Structure formats: C-alpha cells, structure tokens
A and B are shown apart, each in its own frame.
Chain A
Amino acid sequence: QLQLQESGPGLVKPSETLSLTCTVSGGSISSASYYWAWIRQPPGKGLEWIGSIHYSGSIYDNPSLKSRVTISLDTSKNQFSLRLSSVTAADTAIYYCARRGSRYYLDSWGQGTLVTVSS
C-alpha cells in the first residue's frame, strides 16, 4: 500500500527558505505513470496546489508563487522535495505531499506537516 510521509522543520524564519521532503513507501517515484505533488492549506482555509514533478524531470508549478518554488526528486531515496524561498507569514500552512495518479487526480496523500513562519 502506498504511503507518503512529509518531514522537515516546523518553524522557519521570515525571508528564509522552507525545505520539506516527502518519503514514498510501497511504490516507486520512478514510475512513468505518476506525478508527485505538493499542496498546502493555511490554518482554517482551503487547499492550494504548489506544484508537481515527474521522474523524467517534467515540472508543473503554480505561477502565483512567483518562482519561489523548487521541486526535486531523489530516486535513490524514493523521495521528493520542496523548497520555498523568501517565506513570509502568509506561507504558514499545513504542507501535504501527494501522488497524481494515472487518472490525473490526487489519489494518495501524506498526513501533512504544519510549517509556521515566525521570527
């Protein structure tokens, strides 16, 4: 059974870079059928898609984040990562990693990790 688990610091200072990793078990991130995605949810608010990556290197990202986002893969560790630069309090959110399945919707999610931006 596929499992995804986010990890990374829970507290980041303003203007610094948020870094998170998603570890995938029960499946390979090198599969041609899937993209691997990051989504976030500010406390008490709705879902915002951040971006997604394919093992081939193809990336879709959200233009609203103005090129602050870097998404990468480490196939040797079966992990993918998110870096979000120049963070502000508005980036405080629960960050989820997820799989975009072969039918193109998000069919498997991690449990989420809260990242707070504060000095």
Chain B
Amino acid sequence: DIQMTQSPSTLSASVGDRVTITCRASQSINNYLAWYQQRPGKAPKVLIYKASSLESGVPSRFSGSGSGTEFTLTISSLQVDDFATYYCQQYDSYSPTTFGQGTKLEIK
C-alpha cells in the first residue's frame, strides 16, 4: 500500500493567516493527489484534485502544489469557515487508495 503522511497533525492559526499543510507519499503517485476538508459532523468535501486543480465552487484562497512524493495545501487567508480537518488522498492506485491521517486546523 502507498502510505500517506501529513504534517502537522494539528495547526493553530488565526483568521487572516496563511497556512500550509504537507502530505508525503511513500512512492511517486503521478500527481494523483486530492485534498479534502471535513467540518465536524460532516462528510469530507473535495477542494483540490490532481495535486493543483481547484474543484468547482471552491474559493480561490485554497491552492495545491507539489509533485512526485511531496505535496502541499495552502490557504492564503484563513476564514472562520476554514477551521476544520484536512485530509490528503492518493488515487494513483485504487488497490487500495489511501488517505493521510489528517491535519486539524484550530483557531489560535
């Protein structure tokens, strides 16, 4: 299985801050990397796919970058609604597809 490792596990930040979350894959995943946001009690929602493509309807303050085995999700200016947990997922292989362990973004 391809292992996905996110860092940090928890991130404290303030409204207006720029934040970055990192996701590392145990092998190359050909940029088949998605980022999801999960608010408490809700299902995950895709933000970014193919490492850097913004899903329709997602605010432009979210961006993704990276290649090979290292990827980042950046939120340029945090809004209140952005305090949530974020997961990366590799979908280069669906045997199985795997998620990172999550990064909880908390209000400082």
Contacts and interface: CB of A to CB of B under 8 A. Distances in A.
B101 A46 contact: yes
Interface string B40-64: 0011111001100001000000000
A26 to B, nearest CB: 16
Contacts of B87: 46-47
Interface of B: 1, 32, 34, 36, 42-46, 49-50, 55, 87, 89, 91, 94-102
A61 B100 CA distance: 18
Contact of B46 (A47, A60, A106): A106
A48 B102 CA distance: 12
A47 B96 CA distance: 12
Given A105-B34, A105-B89, A60 B94 contact: yes
Given A46-B101, A47-B99, A105 B43 contact: no
Interface stretch (A16-24, A75-83, A109-117): A109-117
Interface of B (DSSP majority class)? loop
B59 to A, nearest CB: 17
6 contacts: A46-B100, A46-B102, A47-B102, A60-B96, A109-B44, A112-B43
Interface of A: 35, 46-49, 52, 60-64, 96, 98, 100, 103-107, 109-112
A104 B99 contact: no
A48 B99 contact: yes
B55 A47 contact: no
A49 B101 contact: no
A96 B45 CA distance: 12
Contacts of A47: 44, 87, 89, 99, 102
